[in-house]
Structure 1
Amino acid sequence: MDAAVGRAWRATRHLLVGAALSIACYVMLGLILLGLAATLLVVGAGLLPETVQTVRRFASFERRRVAARAGEGVPEAYLPLTGPLAERLRHATTDPATYRDLRWVLAQLLYGLILSYLALILWVPAVLVDGIWCGVLGRRPVVLPVFDVLADLSCSWSRALLQPPPGADLVQRVEQLTATRAGAVAAHGAELRRIERDLHDGAQARLVALSMRIGLAKRAYERDPEAARKLLDDAQDQAEQALAELRHVVRGIHPPVLTDRGLDGAVRALAASSGLSVDVSADGVADGPRAPAAVEAAAYFVVAEALTNAAKHSGATRAEVELARTPMKLRVLVRDHGCGGADESAGSGLLGVRRRVAALDGRVSLTSPVGGPTEIEVELPCAW
């Protein structure tokens, strides 16, 4: 009996919170009307997006209540209310989820109060009837479960009203892919400019100097063989330096060490040349089929950028690199024990890391409190 009363009380408490939410919906309805009026008068156009954002917060609160009782959440699918005022107004008035929230506000005004009133009215007779039933017949309660029915009914109505509109996840996915494509295009353009700059300032300059020395050696060959030999020696040095510059450019596009040694070996070679004491662990990465070349290259450049930043900016002397293979992902974690405080807006190359990973539909997480440590965690989708 006590357990049944406890369940009934929890269900009633859920309904009473719903009643309080219904009262708040009256206030929200007034705010919505005020926001619409202010928008029509132009001078208060900024009020409507803020009102819609408030409605979203209340709807999110109801989603959490439904999830807590039913054990299954209700997904959200909203257009962002950020950016210029015109864009916020457009998203606030054209987002289908906004109208679903308004529909829930109007419905909550009714069923939230009605169901809570029913629960309060039924409490005394329910306890009396069940007490008599159990005392006389020794059977389980027959009336108290009605409160669970009322609370579950409230949850089911809220879930039905707050479900995202059909195709909302597809719209969000299109927006995400649009932003990802823009980032990939920007990263590609920056990479092309870097390659052009490296070729122009490095290999091209070496090759021009090489051509000049060979020309001078040809003219000096007949009259001054010793001078010609010196010029040819200089030309050979220039050719070797040009080759080194070209290898550097090629490593920036796709490091040959990845092809030769795989991701595990390439990262260990990178760690050995970083100037830090780096511990590398690779959980299953070297076992079985290799990851696609684009995924390996992205993981390699993430490690390279993170270790470079650690050596240049953090003051760290040691770091750890963890590579982990899961059935559908490649996980990369780089941790340095430096001063922390990494700032993506300070030109540290982290923006390039985000763009490179986003182009593969991956995820980047940066944690860098002041005082350290700094952790960069990357997850890359990977069909092994």
Structure 2
Amino acid sequence: MRKTTRQAAGATVQLAGAAVLTFGTMLFLTVLLITATATLAVVGAGLLPETVTLVRRIAGAKRRQVTRWTGERIPEAYLPLDDGPLRARLRTAVHDPGTLMDLRWMFAEYGYGSVLPILVLPLWPAALLVDGVRCGLLNREPLVLPLIIRLADLEASWSTALLRPSPRARLSERVEELTATRAGVVAAHEAELRRIEQDLQDGTQARLVSLSMRLGLAKRAYERDPAAARKLLDDAQDQAEEALTELRHVVRGIHPPILTDRGLAGAVRALAASSGLDVTVDTGDLESSPRAPAGVEAAAYFTVAEALANAAKHSGSNRASVRLARVATGLTVTVSDEGHGGADETTGSGLLGMRRRIAALDGTVRLTSPTGGPTVIEAGLPCGW
């Protein structure tokens, strides 16, 4: 009985909040009509994007309200409306499928958002009366309390159905997301090519030029001074070995051979051992599971490498941990350190490059680094196992 009463009280609060929001949207109708009139008159066309932004905020408040009651998040899908010239913003405001969805919900909310809370008003006196008299319902719950809960569920289900993005809206959002991801991938690819070119030019190419010169000198000195030629050939051999070492370093930056040889778990353990930090590595059941695609393993490897490098340089701590986990949707990578925190991805290219690399695989990155620490980088990489 007490549990049902508490649930009914919560349902009443939920419906009261819905009524308050409905009243606010009724007041907003005046602003909407003024904006529509001004837009038709061209004079106030600039008000339309701001009005649509306000509609989005009201719809967002309703989504959060329903989420608190149901525990299930209602996704939203809008085209960006903040930047660009006025004509482009007007076009977005008019053609965004989310605008029509929000307006449809708003006008429907005028009906059920007003009626359902009113229906609750006589139910509580009835519940108290039945509970006090207990006539014919002795030792039973008043049947009206579950009805109050049902009204709140009904209001939330209707709002969910109206505020859930349409397939067209989700498709538009996905196109925008893929467009941004593609731009990031192109930028990351160009940056990687420049890095490889610079590494080859400054390192390998310079050593190969020196090697060629020494071989030429040795060839000329071979007949008249064999000892000098031998010394030049020894130096040339050293130059060749150094060039090979630097070339391996460049190749390792493209796709580490250790990934092919040892797999992701072994490669990450090797990274941890060479990082200079006291790193705890937890690979779960990764070593006994089927391997992820090569691109996913490479992204995970470079995520760990970048995170450990940042921890060693900036965290001020000598301890870190790495966790690799195989989940139903793919692979998760978590790297944390016990440093002073305050990591900011806008101040350097490492974290940005990590985010772009993972976004290219439709993955996600979350950085948590409050002042005082700890710093935690969590990456999710989707893949089929």
TM-score range, shorter chain: 0.7 to 0.9
Mapping for residues 107-122 of structure 1, pairs under 5 Å: 107-120=108-121, 122=122
Residues 228-287 of structure 1 show CA distances to partners (whole Å, capped at 9, x for unaligned) of: 222212211111111111111111111111111221221121122212222222111111
Residues 289-317 of structure 1 show CA distances to partners (whole Å, capped at 9, x for unaligned) of: 22221111111111111111122222222
Seen in structure 2, the aligned counterparts of structure 1 residues 146 and 251 have a Cα distance that, compared at 3 Å, is closer
2:25 aligns to what?
A: 25
1:175 aligns to what?
A: 176
Q: In 2, Cα distance between the equivalents of 1:124 and 1:151?
A: 14
Residues 21-57 of structure 1 show CA distances to partners (whole Å, capped at 9, x for unaligned) of: 2221122112223334555666755543332222222
2:53 aligns to what?
A: 53
CA-atom RMSD in angstroms: 2.9
Alignment check: 8 A CA contact 1:292 1:382 kept: yes
Seen in structure 2, the aligned counterparts of structure 1 residues 11 and 293 have a Cα distance that, compared at 3 Å, is closer
1:135 aligns to what?
A: 135
Alignment check: 8 A CA contact 2:130 2:137 kept: no
Compute the displacement of 1:186 (Å): 1.5
Deviates more, 1:76-85 or 1:178-187: 76-85
Residues 73-104 of structure 1 show CA distances to partners (whole Å, capped at 9, x for unaligned) of: 54322223332253443332211221221122
Q: In 2, Cα distance between the equivalents of 1:105 and 1:117?
A: 18
Seen in structure 2, the aligned counterparts of structure 1 residues 348 and 340 have a Cα distance that, compared at 3 Å, is farther
Mapping for residues 1-384 of structure 1, pairs under 5 Å: 11-37=11-37, 39=39, 45-69=45-69, 72-86=72-86, 87-120=88-121, 122-123=122-123, 126=126, 130=130, 134-135=134-135, 141=142, 147=148, 150-384=151-385
Alignment check: 8 A CA contact 1:134 1:140 kept: no
Amino acid at match of 1:318: R
TM-score, reference length from structure 1: 0.87
Amino acid at match of 1:344: E
Query: Counterpart of 2:288 in 1: which secondary structure?
Result: coil
In structure 2, stretches of 5+ residues that fail to align are: none
Query: Counterpart of 1:335 in 2: which secondary structure?
Result: strand
Seen in structure 2, the aligned counterparts of structure 1 residues 29 and 321 have a Cα distance that, compared at 3 Å, is same
Percent same amino acid at aligned positions?
A: 63
Q: In 2, Cα distance between the equivalents of 1:6 and 1:328?
A: 38
Amino acid at match of 2:322: V
Compute the displacement of 1:11 (Å): 4.7
Compute the displacement of 1:162 (Å): 2.5
Query: Counterpart of 1:50 in 2: which secondary structure?
Result: helix
Q: In 2, Cα distance between the equivalents of 1:157 and 1:324?
A: 38
Amino acid at match of 1:345: T
Compute the displacement of 1:149 (Å): 5.6
Query: Counterpart of 1:207 in 2: which secondary structure?
Result: helix
Deviates more, 1:127-136 or 1:359-368: 127-136
Query: Counterpart of 1:372 in 2: which secondary structure?
Result: coil
Q: In 1, Cα distance between the equivalents of 2:124 and 2:254?
A: 76
In structure 1, stretches of 5+ residues that fail to align are: none
Amino acid at match of 2:97: P
Amino acid at match of 2:20: A
Amino acid at match of 1:256: P
Compute the displacement of 1:147 (Å): 4.5
TM-score, reference length from structure 2: 0.87
The number of residues matched between the two structures is 383
Query: Counterpart of 1:76 in 2: which secondary structure?
Result: coil
